[in-house]
């Protein structure tokens, strides 16, 4: 199976106001480290995590990098399409 890790996934690791989601995400990340599935994230996710305030930023990036994700590049065409969707 191929799984895409988007921005909100690592955020739930640090969601102290959503205890059940935080616990489920912690278990999910343990599983991601040992599963045989193909894991992906994107350069856009990394950009979004880089925009988080410190010290959360470092925690988010460290958590995502702790799982074996391939980082997919974002093309100009994809950014243009995203702009159309947002508009």
Q: Quick: pLDDT tens for 20-60.
A: 999 999 999 999 999 999 999 999 899 999 999 999 999 99
Q: What is the pLDDT of residue 79?
A: 83
* 73 within 8 A of 80, measured Cβ to Cβ: no
- Please give the angle made by the CA atoms of 21, 32 and 19, to the nearest 5 degrees: 15
Confidence tier at 13 by pLDDT (50, 70, 90):
very high
Q: What is the pLDDT of residue 30?
A: 96
């Amino acid at each position: 199976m191929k799984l895409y890790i988007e921005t909100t996934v690592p955020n739930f690791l640090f969601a102290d106001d959503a205890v059940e989601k935080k616990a489920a995400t912690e278990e999910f990340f343990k599983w991601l480290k040992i599963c045989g599935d193909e894991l992906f994230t994107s350069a856009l996710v990394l950009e979004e995590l880089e925009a988080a305030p410190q010290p959360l930023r470092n925690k988010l990036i460290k958590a995502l990098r702790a799982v074996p994700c391939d980082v997919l590049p974002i093309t100009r065409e994809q950014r243009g399409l995203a702009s159309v969707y947002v508009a």
